[in-house]
A = this chain, B = another copy of it.
């Protein structure tokens, strides 16, 4: 990496990372407030089981997944192994919490005899979650299982990075659809008069979009990418030589 490029404008990153965390925590707080104040709070066996779904999806699939992507920027000068373990651990937590959220809504629908999987929210949600599982499996095999050739890893990585951010954006779109559905079901007459709950949920929607926007900006800046440490660079060249038969001295 060009050294002048690496230094360029990096000063803005900490502020944007802070902004992303404030937006993420604000979105979680607004989700919790909305479900507690207006939708009767949380329960697993009671009629509030539905409410477990939105809070789990915002916590797992938005906030934790977002932060899992961010670790490669925030800890860009720490060891790659530690960063990778943190990335995996955050995604493991995100996966568990999301699965709880998905079980909650399917169980709730079953108890209440509400049809499943008819809305655009559910279609986009299940597509996104299926791709997330696939991304999990491929990412685990490629980057955690030892013995995968460096050439395969480096070819897969751009796709893994692209799909990671795309899935975050797609999850946020799914959340917005879920919010719209819930408001139209819960406030069929009142929503158009824009009551406090409507304002709160619309604001939540914009907070989620702002979180996605700041995350996307941080994650797509070339100059904020994790620079390879000297020993990793040497190792990479070594791997490359072994797997592709290239000489490290070649242009």
Q: State A122–B51 Cα separation when bound (angstroms).
A: 25
Q: Assess the A205–B118 pair: CB atoms within 8 A.
A: no
Per-residue B-contact encoding for A41-61, CB less than 8 Å = 1, 0 else: 000000000000000000000
Taking CB atoms, residues of chain B closer than 8 Å to A169 are 169
Query: Do A176 and B120 contact each other (CB < 8 Å), given the known contacts A184-B181, A192-B115?
Result: yes
Q: Which residues of B contact A127 (CB under 8 A)?
A: 206, 209
For window 156-203 of chain A, which residues contact chain B by CB distance below 8 Å? 158, 162, 166, 169-170, 172-173, 176-177, 179-181, 183-185, 188, 191-194, 198, 201-202
Which residues of B lie under 8 Å from residue A191 when comparing CB positions? 118-119
**Which chain B positions have C-beta within 8 A of A180?**
119-121, 177, 180-181
CB-CB under 8 A from A121, the residues of chain B are 180
How many chain A residues sit at the interface, stated as a range, is: 35 or more
**Would A205 and B162 be within 8 Å (CB), given that A115-B192, A173-B176 are in contact?**
no
Cβ-defined partner of A176 (8 Å) among B177, B194, B220: B177
Instruction: Give me the interface of A with B, judged by CB distance under 8 Å.
Output: 114-115, 118-121, 123-124, 127, 158, 162, 166, 169-170, 172-173, 176-177, 179-181, 183-185, 188, 191-194, 198, 201-202, 205-206, 209, 213, 216-217, 220-222
